[in-house]
Structure 1
């Protein structure tokens, strides 16, 4: 049977046409004949027959059509229709298909011309073109068929151009104008056809038409492509305008010679892929070859990444830019056949360019020089596909501008870059979206749309490798498996086995990788296999070099070779990885190449490198260590990896890094697996490391009770080893957990032992850690002097380390201690030092701790807005690193800060936000929370609840013991009793608090001490003498009321300063707004507001009528003292209640009882000032004799709640 596609589809048998009824059968034959001898997948046949809307029974109908086609072919016996995988292949003898006969005749013509036989070549071209009966497959439509037909039409156009060129060259006298016009009608951008048409018209004495032809193609190129005609076409246009004699036809046919001849431009590009997807970046890089700069590009990537497909797709896009031809050769650098030699490739190119075989030099250098001569002053595209090395390529490259060469290789060919100016273009894998789009083009978009999630899984499992996706697409198209079933198969143990086309051993991913593997040198192969055995996703240069016994320089060179050859990828400086499928392939090779002893040695090398590597591993190694432990768990020495995981649990999870996105629950699972293995191991350190990891994870997660259990198990197992807890580290870890649980005495006992052990061990970092832990617990226990000495020693030890200070923990704790002691300047200076140490440090956790300390310093210094801002920033960071215990502590501190400014709703909201973290509460956090609730309920008037929580806080802090926080809780409880009207209980608890503060020997300037100083000597001295220690009365007073206008208040304030003999400045105005609001709420909050008038009356009633009779009730002193406390945040303020006046200037507080004369002057000073009703009424209740109540100098800050 004969087949014809160069025109309408036609089948003939014994000279008679074979009818092809229906729609399906002709389209089936058309698609199969477009690719004779090649497998055509079912989905392409379905697309060709039915387009984008196939019926549900499309495949069954297609199978029936194939059966009918086989019946036709079997009768003729000249061809065979085969099923291959999920596609079909039609085998046709070349002489039975007109398209193959046309190709053969055109090829013979080129060879005849190259052999200086133009007349014979012309005759062959005429025979070839006579086979055409019209456009290819005329009458059949559809995307697939039209694309294939267009390819044959382009080959016909090239043959018409070649025949026309020979007709003109030989001056045969036959007109070629009509044929060339038809070519330009169907292919309007073919500049060579336009050149020939203009020449033919000119020779037929039709120059105007020739010029019109030039103008038409110039406009079309400019309007539709945005380019100008090529230089040759422009030169021809100029020659026609000048009526150049050289355009005339030769007098006779030229004599054949072996020299250079005008021949048909070679068009050797293989067909473009109809499934090309993505690669926008690489195409843009290749487009740059058309401009100034390097005109050689190397496309490199792993096998199966689509380098050839990309090169050919780009070449077809720009082929019109190269009218002098496109040369292509497969160098077989990575192929089962032997690589093509440079001389063989040169001979092929030279023959295509018209050099007779006998004229081609036998020396490669001479042949290369001849090629460069032939390509000089031309615009020719050269595609050198599948190069193995630079030596295979160098002699094939053109040397002049205008020519472009594209090389594809699995290697980056670094040697070539040293010799020629080249553009390196890496062809990596497709991204997820591109992978799905490629799958759509292979199996049809409707099928992907039915199972989009399965398609995404397949794309991920193919790791973006185009070859793998094409294989899956081929298999899916020929089988009834769903995408989901295919994804499940690929998720199995041997993914590579499923990435193969059945019946075609060359169409597999493993086969493609085999070609790269076989090209490795012995040293490269060894390192390649060693690296493949590494668990995890990537590896460092240091680990890679540690796997071999070579000199470091040699190991680095071999590693660089593997990168250059795309066996591995250096995705970040110093860090490397395999492509996912390449790793699986290489692992299979390693498992067959290495015996068990070699694999164990490799494991030991990896463990040794991790265990004894740098003091602090980069966070990127976390997942690799986890993977190594999970894969090798149970092998000897592998538990040593747990030590590194403990470091990550302790600190690594607080770091920031692009590759550190891991969570503590994952480490918890690793720890449990390690415990199961460790308790069965004969090596006791396996259990020690397992329990230590579990302890570290529980501690970092805020699970303190579980942490205690694991820490005790760690210490218990460690004591069974020969050296025990030689450094004290295990005792320190247990003690740290006990501190969080409020069991201070037990912690101190362990830590004092640990300090001795750490000093004997000489481990500096353990000493620093243990001293800091002991200093922390002693600070909480109120043993301030020893705590400071220990923390300063830890700081000095850390600073003396060879690498300089390595931790901020001692400084953070020391800062908190100085705030407790009222040494705010020292605390502020430490915060600055910590800030410098953390500059550029990625840790959110450390910065959160710093913000917490800065908040305490700002609060103590009276700057509440900055204190709140710092605390909120710290809280945000601890939330991000999931440090739940610190989130609780920071939230409770924020709530207390809100209570200080009577923002009760804000305090409640803060507490509600952390209700879900109840499982992470410890004795410490519960006690702090209880104190907050005591104050909050007291402000709400819920006295029973306030007293309940106040007692709870006092009891817990007393049991720890934590005397400072116990005293604060006693103060809060006393306030609750006082608000409830139980004066006796309030006084008793206040006395207890005062006793605790006295026992702590706090600096008098500390807020904690100042708040209760009136309960000590100052109050007694006042009652006896009417004056506090060292106090001088002040003259001239005015109240800065929150109802006054700012200008009036400022004027009154200046009068006060003048009366006190103090300097009045324009640049230091008082901070009005925050004080007004705070004073109003503090003095007249909900449960005291109704007592405003009573308080004023009590003041007047308590003060006698004369200078000798003035006595003030103790409860009244307490009430007024609360007002004094509200001033601690202000630098300048004046307050009056009844006859009592309080003045604060430059941190100096003075209290007075006014005389009637002073009252009169005061009233005169208020003229024009509009005071609110509550305060104004009190102020107008004037008192008598002047009497100094107390005087305090220089409150330097407020004691932190934590």
Structure 2
């Protein structure tokens, strides 16, 4: 049985009937056709919203999954289209065509309720225009009978909801028209319930409120009519900040006066005399579009979004972006591209919303449009509402394109929008015009900057491909310095085209101190990037301006909502609303929820404004507020915030209080080794931290407070340890302790001693590390600092394991694991588990080690850190190697090396590669082992005596295998001497096994047996089975 419920194909097939004016419905012979799953109904919904039009694949993906599509989204859509085609084939009706990277559903008008509604509503308009109101009323009733509920009820998502809203608006307009005819014809049918339902669904429709008030008055319910006026007045004021239109106000006054004109006209009254109607002269269709740009480049995504406007019903797009982003150029280019689809004309007006001249009033704009449409000046109403109504009448049943350029607010735009199917409006603005979206079905199209490739192409179109091709690197640099802003690129291109200067010199000038000064056309003070930004700046109110300038002064690449709202004295919610207004107006960009940034050039412009507007005392207060927020923030800060702290320290170093940021950076550096998020990775990716540490040390050693120097040295220690420079890390850790001992609390928690001991352990100085860790453990236990206690226990367990004191090592590591797990927030990091897994591999308890690896992998699943994941792969390598599963061991280790490379963890890269070479020796892959050792030869600066000993043991095995036993013996002895001195008995025993094989190869049987005997003794003492 197929989806249509048939077991075989019929001889005659009735066409499928599609319904979107209510819940999605497919019916065959009056019976519903089931649409199983999530994807198939949504596919049909989107295709039926715009029948006959190509829907790009990315819009279908967006409709089904929104912002979180699976990796297989496109394939799933393609599979669902195949299912839908099969269903249509079974019904023998309609078809889905593949057109480029999209799909088009062809459906006959009589088989889709929305098209039947649309046709009946159009016929009604024609009948009313032909003075046949009774017939028009019948057609409207027929149109509205197609509706079963809200369009596509039950289906959610921005794509579907926006399309459904468009049809719901059409329904509301038809219901208003029907009510108007019922009232005009005095049919006696009460339209009050229907109009109340319209206003429940569309509370801002003033025409519906006008009709409701009239209907209530005619039913002798004037008090309710006045209540209806008060309800919409409050709604408009509270939610949109606007007053009712003049027609509503006049109607209220007429009701209060009991104006006789509100009563229905006598049925015998003659129609208005022709002289009372405006005389419209026939004129050619208006073609007001400015010339298209010959240099238009890129914008494929935005053009696709605009192409979606070419569906049924009135459609509006708002192109918004910062000044100079090319909104007008894009709108005009698209309008020219589709002008043939609007044979009744193309209207264009510059509303001067952001301009040196005063903004154009709605009435002036209306008058211009009406004159273009053939309405004589004397016939244009002086009332804006009436003029807007006349414009809508003139545009009804036409295919007209309206371009409203440079709008300041929705009040400029609303009266100029067409209200019927066939017309499209494109609005450009520096604001998203959110209140317009509350009133109309609006497609928001953000016009951002051009990417690097598009920027260079724009330069090529301005100065020629040959010139750009001669200096490609300089061209790319210019594109970056212009930050992809089309206005900036056009200005640079104009200057290059008229001046004899190289691209390299231009790039150097832009990279200098005063970039904005170079982004100007010589001799034209109005054609500059700064002048474009001035128009946006002048539109800010005083509160917006203050917040805008405060934010521009902040160092760093971005900022959080919490920091932004802390810089002003207003109540937090008021500050958040101001922040939202700046985003809506494209002054700043909310590129992630709760995180904001400036366009690069806008930031430079705004910072200059801030430095000019604020006196030194105000700037210092702003620095203090920023440092205070960073220093005292009680929440865990995201990685981006630490990058900003680094930028803040470097930019403001030398100002009082800035040294307080070192405490936050030390916490960040410390978190880098235990946090389950990306903090660990970022520590390796912030080379600026070394510069911060150097400056901090320089300042700290001159400070009267030894804690300043202690913090700076602690940060320097963390950076050196992360980079693998353990000798420098040891020196910094010792300095940290030296300065801490000069403070009243000293190393109260044992943290500084733990850090020093950790470095000593990695250097192979186990006895020193053990002694220091015993002291640190006592301090950690006394202080009650849970994480420091966990960290010290883990470090202690690690050094005990290396020294072969396995029972105590396991006890300390178990204690660390349990203490961490008992934290209120649960386990905070896999560090104790990694160390315990390493111990279990040494002891041969491979199943227990493998279980711990699974536990660590689960801990890292949602918040993967490359640092910890590389360590996990190393532990998995050890488990697989112990199980003699060499392919999986190799794969795990290669992945661990790759991640270590990605975060510049040179020391782990070095050690892991030595283990890889050792693995290759297990399987006799001598060339692979030699190649692996060669790949890390350049990392010699990160070698320690411990890593050299690891390398020496591998070299001993390699040299033995290639027939060079003399050198192999030297390498083996070197490894044994270092491991014995540490002492690291397990690795000493393994080195002795390799040395014995070298002795055998050299024919030194007695020495070989002695080495094997010593190895057996060590393995026995450790309780580990001997391999020899």
Separation in 1 of the partners of 2:302 and 2:880?
56
Match of residue 441 from structure 2: 421
Alpha-carbon distance in structure 2 between the residues aligned to 1:359 and 1:646: 75
1:886 to 908, 911, 925: 908
- Where in structure 2 are the equivalents of 1:57-206 lying within 5 Å? none
1:871 pairs with 2:911: no
Is the aligned partner of 1:370 residue 2:390? Answer: yes
Whole-Å separation in 1 of the counterparts to 2:682 and 2:601 = 23
Instruction: Note if 1:321 corresponds to 2:327.
Output: no
Distance 2:680 2:875 in 1: 29
Q: Aligned-pair distance for 1:341?
A: 1.7
Q: CA deviation at 1:651?
A: 6.2
Counterparts in 2 of 1:790 and 1:294: CA distance versus 1, 3 Å: farther
What secondary structure, in the 3-state scheme, does the structure 1 residue paired with 2:535 have?
A: helix
Alignment map for 1:383-462 (pairs within 5 Å): 383-462=403-482
Q: Distance in 2 between matches of 1:987 and 1:473?
A: 81
Look up the match of 2:819. 797
Structure 1 pair 326–894 and aligned structure 2 pair: CA distance change class (3 A)? closer
Of 614, 617, 635, which residue of structure 1 is paired with 2:637?
Answer: 617
Q: Is the 8 A contact 1:278 1:434 kept in 2?
A: yes
Under a length normalisation based on structure 1, what TM-score does the superposition of the two structures give?
0.59
- Tell me how far apart the structure 1 counterparts of residues 936 and 724 of structure 2 sit (CA, whole Å): 14
Q: For the structure 1 residues 542 and 959, does the alpha-carbon distance in structure 2 shift closer, same or farther, using more than 3 Å as the test? A: same
The match for 2:1025 among 1007, 1011, 1025 is: 1007
Distance 1:430 1:872 in 2: 38
1:302 aligns with 2:319: no
Q: Structure 1 residues 944 and 624 mapped into 2: Cα distance closer, same or farther (>3 Å)?
A: same
1:838 to 856, 860, 863: 860
Query: CA-atom RMSD, angstroms?
Result: 2.8
The alpha carbon displacement at 1:879 in A equals 3.3
**Pick from 579, 604, 608: which aligns with 1:584?**
604
Q: Find the counterpart in structure 2 of residue 964 from structure 1.
A: 986
Shift of 1:327: 2.3
Q: Which residue of 2 aligns with 1:479?
A: 499
| 1:780 CA displacement | 0.9
The match for 2:514 is 494
Q: TM-score, normalised by structure 2?
A: 0.69
Confirm or deny: 8 A CA contact 2:325 2:447 kept in the other structure. yes
C-alpha displacement of 1:625: 2.7
Q: How far apart, CA to CA, are the structure 1 residues paired with 2:281 and 2:365?
A: 21
Q: Is the 8 A contact 1:950 1:969 kept in 2?
A: yes
C-alpha contact (below 8 Å) 2:671/2:679 kept by paired residues: no
Rounded to whole Å, the distance in 2 between the matches of 1:752 and 1:265 is 91
Deviation at 1:411, TM superposition (A): 0.4
Are 1:712 and 2:730 counterparts?
no
Q: Hey, what's the Cα distance between the residues in 1 that align with 2:993 and 2:678?
A: 42
Deviation at 1:660, TM superposition (A): 5.9
Structure 1 segments unaligned to the other structure (5+ residues): 1-253, 1012-1121, 1123-1202
Corresponding residue of 2:298 = 278
Q: Would you say the 8 A contact 2:680–2:867 is kept in 1?
A: no
* Alpha-carbon distance, 1:591 to partner: 1.0
Return closer, same or farther for 1:482/1:964 CA change in 2, 3 Å cut-off. closer
Post-superposition offset of 1:893: 2.6
Distance 2:1001 2:289 in 1: 95
Separation (CA, whole Å) in 2 of partners of 1:942 and 1:453: 51
- 1:1101-1112 equivalences in 2 (<5 Å): none
1:336 aligns with 2:356: yes
Q: Give the Cα–Cα distance (whole angstroms) in 1 for the partners of residues 617 and 712 of structure 2.
A: 26
Give 1:1130's aligned residue. none
**Judging changes above 3 Å, is the alpha-carbon distance between structure 1 residues 632 and 264 closer, same or farther for their aligned structure 2 residues?**
same
Distance in 2 (CA, whole Å) between partners of 1:793 and 1:480 is 74
2:614 aligns to what? 594
Structure 1 counterpart SS, 2:941: helix
Q: Within the alignment, does 1:852 sit opposite 2:874 as a pair?
A: yes
How many Å apart are 1:789 and its aligned residue?
1.3
Asked if the contact 2:313–2:422 (Cα under 8 Å) also holds between the matched residues in 1, the reply is: no
Instruction: Specify whether residues 330 and 420 from structure 1 end up closer, same or farther in structure 2 by C-alpha distance, changes over 3 A only.
Output: same
Aligned partner of 2:282 in structure 1 is: 262
The answer to whether the Cα contact below 8 Å between 2:559 and 2:597 also exists between their aligned partners in 1 is yes
1:133-159 per-residue CA deviation (whole Å, 9 max, x = no partner) reads xxxxxxxxxxxxxxxxxxxxxxxxxxx
Distance 1:860 1:258, change over 3 A: closer
Deviation, structure 1 residue 975: 4.1
* Residue of 605, 627, 635 corresponding to 2:647: 627
- Contact 1:304/1:466, CA 8 A, preserved across alignment: yes
- Contact 2:669–2:683 under 8 Å retained in 1: no
Gap change, CA 1:403 and 1:369, over 3 Å in 2: same
Q: Distance in 2 between matches of 1:647 and 1:292?
A: 58
Indicate yes or no: 2:592 matched with 1:565: no
Q: Offset of 1:444 from its aligned partner?
A: 4.1
Q: For residue 357 of structure 1, what is the aligned residue in structure 2?
A: 377
CA offset digits 1:547-566 (Å, max 9, x no partner)? 23333332222221111111
> Which residue of structure 1 lines up, in the alignment, with residue 367 of structure 2?
347
C-alpha displacement at 1:810, in angstroms? 0.9
Q: For the residues of structure 1 that align with 2:717 and 2:683, how far apart are their CA atoms?
A: 21
The answer to whether residue 936 in structure 2 is matched with residue 918 in structure 1 is: no
Please list, as runs of the form range in 1=range in 2, the aligned pairs for 1:528-927 lying within 5 A after superposition. Answer: 528-613=548-633, 616-646=636-666, 649=669, 652=672, 663=685, 665-927=687-949
**Kept after mapping to 1: 8 A contact 2:652/2:658:** yes
Whole-Å separation in 2 of the counterparts to 1:525 and 1:435: 31
Equivalents in 2 of 1:933, 1:277: separation in Å?
A: 59
The change in CA–CA distance for 1:990 and 1:444 in structure 2 (over 3 A counts) is: closer
Q: Structure 1 residues 480 and 681, CA, compared in 2 at 3 Å: closer, same or farther?
A: farther
Taking the aligned partners of 1:293 and 1:719, their CA distance within structure 2 comes to: 77
> Are the counterparts in 1 of residues 681 and 903 from structure 2 also a CA contact under 8 Å?
no
* Alpha-carbon contact 2:716-2:732 (below 8 Å) kept: yes
Task: Give the distance between the partners of 1:494 and 1:594, measured in 2 at CA.
Answer: 20
Q: How many corresponding residue pairs?
A: 753
Residue pair 1:834, 1:850 contacting (<8 A) in 2 also:
yes
* Helix, strand or coil at the partner of 1:1007: coil
Alignment partners' CA distance in 2, 1:727 and 1:907: 45
Contact map agreement 1:620 1:660 (CA 8 A) in 2:
no
**Matched-pair contact (CA < 8 Å) for 1:684–1:717:** yes
State the match for 2:255 in structure 1. Answer: none
Distance 1:853 1:882 in 2: 20
Q: Cα gap change, 1:316/1:853 in structure 2, threshold over 3 Å: closer, same or farther?
A: closer
- Cα deviations by residue, 1:212-248 (Å, 9 ceiling, x for unpaired): xxxxxxxxxxxxxxxxxxxxxxxxxxxxxxxxxxxxx
Tell me, what secondary structure is at the counterpart of 2:348?
Answer: strand
SS where residue 385 of structure 1 aligns?
Answer: strand
Check 1:993–1:265 CA distance in 2 against 1; reply closer, same or farther (3 A cut). closer
1:744-799 per-residue CA deviation (whole Å, 9 max, x = no partner) reads 11111211121122222222111111111111111111222221111111111110
- Flag the 1:273–1:983 CA change in 2: closer, same or farther, 3 A: closer
Q: In structure 1, how many angstroms separate the alpha carbons of the residues matched to 2:754 and 2:765?
A: 14
Contact 1:640 1:689 in 2 (8 A): no
Q: In terms of Rg, which structure is larger?
A: 1
Q: Which blocks of at least 5 consecutive residues in structure 2 are unaligned?
A: 1-273
Work out which of the residue numbers 545, 553, 570 in structure 2 matches 1:525: 545
Change (3 A) 1:425 1:908: closer
